[in-house]
């Protein structure tokens, strides 16, 4: 099956679920098509496989309420919308797990959750709205627009979760320069995303 045929099939699937959320055959097809992708996103954001499966089930439950109101727009990405919904479910899970952990005094688990939240930063927030492929292209373009030290500071703090002070020590710069680099690159990446989207809409 070619890409165009697959896209048509998925649009038809969304239309069927939009019209009849109780269509069990369509739901089974939806889970087959999108379930693995949802789990991959969740594990990329730091969840173990068992937790990812639980949260994926929660995402599917949320979809049963939201799909009847969903209006398909061929100019926008359903995958991006689904990733946003998945990210909200992930955030709720991490927040609730953090509350339970604080109550139990299990600091090792709490440290892990805080590390996940720290690594989220720009990458996860942008991925919640845009496809990963779009982000990767924007990052490549942004890197070409700045000095190497600026890029390295941004990469360490925003993409790898290194603390600003540790990044400053590693690069031999002031911590204020690290903060400025991160802020500047965030703006540049957002500009590149808008430019890429604008070019795509005129094709």
Gap between the Cα atoms of 127 and 35, Å rounded: 18
Helix ranges, the chain (H)? 3-19, 24-44, 49-66, 78-104, 107-127, 132-143, 148-154, 164-171, 175-202
Whether the per-residue pLDDT at 4 is higher than 70: the answer is no
State residue 74's pLDDT score.
64
Longest distance between any two alpha carbons in the chain, whole Å:
60
Domain ranges of the chain: 1-120, 130-203
User: pLDDT tier at 94 (50, 70, 90 boundaries)?
Assistant: confident
User: pLDDT tier at 170 (50, 70, 90 boundaries)?
Assistant: very high
Burial of 85 (0-12, 13-18, 19+ CB in 10 A): middle
CB atoms within 10 A of CB 155: 17
Residue that wins the pLDDT comparison between 50 and 128:
50
User: pLDDT tier at 192 (50, 70, 90 boundaries)?
Assistant: confident
Give the pLDDT confidence of 132-169 residue by residue, as tens digits.
Answer: 667 788 888 999 999 999 999 999 988 888 888 899 89
Asked if CATH classification 1.10.1740.10 holds for the domain at 1-120, the reply, yes or no, is yes
Give the pLDDT confidence of 37-61 residue by residue, as tens digits.
Answer: 898 888 888 778 888 888 888 888 8
Task: Name the CATH code of domain 130-203 (choices 3.90.1150, 1.10.10, 1.10.357, 1.10.3470).
Answer: 1.10.10
């Amino acid at each position: 099956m070619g890409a165009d045929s697959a896209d048509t099939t998925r649009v038809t699937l969304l239309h069927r679920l939009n019209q009849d959320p109780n269509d069990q055959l369509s739901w089974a097809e939806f889970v087959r098509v999108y379930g693995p992708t949802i789990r991959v996103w969740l594990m990329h954001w730091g969840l173990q496989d068992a937790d990812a499966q639980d949260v994926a089930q929660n995402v599917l439950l949320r979809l049963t309420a939201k799909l009847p109101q969903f209006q398909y727009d061929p100019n926008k990405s359903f995958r991006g919308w689904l990733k946003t919904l998945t990210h909200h479910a992930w955030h709720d899970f991490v927040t609730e797990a953090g509350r339970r952990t604080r109550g139990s005094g299990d600091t090792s688990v709490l440290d892990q959750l805080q590390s996940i939240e720290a690594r989220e930063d720009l990458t996860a927030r942008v991925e919640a709205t845009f496809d990963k492929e779009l982000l990767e292209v924007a990052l490549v373009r942004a890197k070409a627009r700045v000095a190497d030290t600026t890029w390295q500071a941004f990469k360490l703090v925003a993409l790898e979760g290194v603390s600003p002070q540790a990044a400053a020590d590693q690069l031999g710069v002031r911590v204020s320069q690290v903060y400025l680099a991160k802020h500047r690159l965030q703006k540049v990446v957002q500009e590149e995303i808008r430019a890429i989207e604008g070019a795509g809409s005129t094709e």
